[in-house]
Amino acid sequence: AKRQCPRHFREEEEEIGESKFKKTIGGRRSVILESEGEEVEEIEDDHDLSASDDDIFSDEDGKEVSVKDILTNFGSPKQEQGDDGQPLPKKSTEGDNSYLSQTRFDECSISPLTLRGVKAAGYERMTQVQESTLPLILKGKDVLAKAKTGTGKTVAFLLPAIEVVSKLPPVERDQRRQPINVLVVCPTRELADQAAAEANKLLKYHPSIGVQVVMGGTRLALEQKRMQTNPCQILVATPGRLRDHIENTPGFATRLMGVKVLVLDEADRLLDMGFRKDIEKIVAAVPKQRQTLLFSATVPDEVRQICYIAMKRDLEFINTVGEGTEETHSQVKQMHLVAPLEKQFSILYNILTEHISENVDYKVIVFCTTAMATKLVADLLSELKLNVREIHSRKPQSYRTRVSKEFKESKGLILVSSDVSARGVDYPNVTLVIQLGVPADREQYIHRLGRTGRKGQEGTGILMLAPWEDFFLSTIKDLPITKAPLPTVDLDTRKKVERALGHVELKNKESAYQAWLGYYNSNKNIGRDKYQLVALANEFSRSMGLDNPPAVNKLVLKKMGLNNVPGLRAK
Which residues are at the interface with ligand ATP (CB under 6 A)?
123, 126-127, 130, 147, 149-155, 297, 424, 426, 450, 454-455
The answer to whether residues 235 and 180 touch, using CB atoms and an 8 Å cutoff, is yes
Q: Which is nearer to ligand ATP, 128 or 387 (CB)?
A: 128
What is the identity of the amino acid at 324? G
User: Closest distance between ligand ATP and the C-beta of residue 244, in Å?
Assistant: 25
CB of 369 to ligand ATP, least distance (A): 20
- Distance of alpha carbon 571 from alpha carbon 563, whole angstroms: 11
**Nearest approach, Cβ of residue 100 and ligand ATP (Å):** 6
Q: Are 172 and 322 a contacting pair, CB within 8 Å?
A: no
Closest CB to ligand ATP among 437 and 450? 450
Q: How far is the CB of 455 from ligand ATP (least distance, A)?
A: 5
Nearer to ligand ATP by Cβ, of 158 and 227: the residue is 158
Q: Considering the complex, state which of residue 202 and residue 486 has its C-beta at the smaller distance from ligand ATP.
A: 202
Provide the phi-psi class of 148: left if phi over 0, else alpha when psi is between -120 and 50, else beta: beta
CB of 276 to ligand ATP, least distance (A): 21
Nearer to ligand ATP, 195 or 414 (CB): 195
- In the bound state with ligand ATP, the residue whose beta carbon lies nearer, of 149 and 521, is 149
Amino acid letter, residue 245: H
**Amino acid (1-letter code) at residue 454:** R
In the chain, the N- to C-terminal Cα span, in Å, equals 34
Please report how close the Cβ of residue 242 comes to ligand ATP at its closest, in angstroms. Answer: 19
Q: How far is the CB of 39 from ligand ATP (least distance, A)?
A: 29
Q: Is 85 exposed, middle or buried (0-12, 13-18, 19+ CB in 10 A)?
A: exposed
Closest C-alpha to 374, from 399, 411, 338 = 399
Taking alpha carbons only, the member of 164, 166, 169, 256 closest to residue 214 is 256
Nearest approach, Cβ of 115 to ligand ATP (angstroms)?
A: 12
Minimum distance from CB of 231 to ligand ATP (Å)? 23
Nearer to ligand ATP, 151 or 346 (CB): 151
* Minimum CB distance to ligand ATP smaller for 240 or for 453: 453
Q: Are 350 and 409 in contact (CB under 8 A)?
A: no
State the Cα–Cα distance between residues 114 and 201, nearest whole angstrom.
Answer: 10
Q: What 8-state DSSP symbol labels residue 412?
A: S
SS3 string of 477-539?
Answer: CCCCEEECCCCCCCHHHHHHHHHHHHCCCHHHHHHHHHHHHHHHHCCCCCCCCHHHHHHHHHH
**Closest distance of CB 124 from ligand ATP, Å:** 7
Alpha-carbon distance of 170 to 429, in angstroms, equals 42
Closer to ligand ATP by CB, 127 or 212: give it: 127
CB 430 within 8 A of CB 410: no
Q: Which is nearer to ligand ATP, 200 or 357 (CB)?
A: 200
Count of other CB atoms within 10 angstroms of residue 267 = 26
